């Protein structure tokens, strides 16, 4: 099993939800975050004063899926979400040793 942490621009959430729903991801967690990557934010001119805005709004979408589904999701996200500009986001992939459904005590794939 793999845990995917997908960091994207907020306006790309609906596109990502379509990908995850189509891949039969059984659960998704979404967190509002602030951050920056290579773009280091941007400069904004307001009433003649220049401000550096380096923390940009992002979304972190997390899901745990089987290995095959993880690679399919990654391929689709890279193909459909990217704009080719700085700030498109990142995907972090983690190995998941086990998952346990608290209600039933099921382990592994059955718990997803």
DSSP states along 14-49 = HHHHHHHHHTT----EEEEEEE--TT--EEEEETTE
Distance CA 7, CA 81 (A): 11
Give pLDDT, residue 42. 67
Give pLDDT, residue 21. 93
Give pLDDT, residue 52. 74
Residues with pLDDT less than 70, the chain? 41-42, 44
24 is in which domain, residue-wise?
2-111
Give pLDDT, residue 41. 66
CATH number at residue 84: 3.30.70.120
Please tell me the pTM assigned to this model. 0.85
Give pLDDT, residue 8. 95
What's the structural domain count of the chain?
1
Please, are residues 93 and 4 in contact by the beta-carbon 8 Å criterion?
yes
Give pLDDT, residue 17. 95
């Amino acid at each position: 099993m793999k845990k995917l942490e997908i960091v994207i621009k907020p306006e790309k959430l609906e596109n990502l939800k379509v990908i995850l729903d189509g891949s039969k991801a059984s659960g998704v967690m979404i967190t509002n975050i602030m951050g920056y990557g290579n773009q280091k934010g941007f400069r904004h001119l307001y009433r003649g004063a220049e401000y550096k805005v380096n923390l940009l709004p992002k979304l972190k979408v997390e899901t745990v899926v089987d290995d095959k589904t993880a690679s399919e999701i990654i391929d689709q996200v890279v193909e459909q979400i990217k704009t080719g500009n700085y700030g498109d986001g990142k995907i972090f992939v983690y190995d998941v040793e086990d998952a346990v459904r608290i209600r039933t005590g099921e382990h592994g794939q059955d718990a997803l």
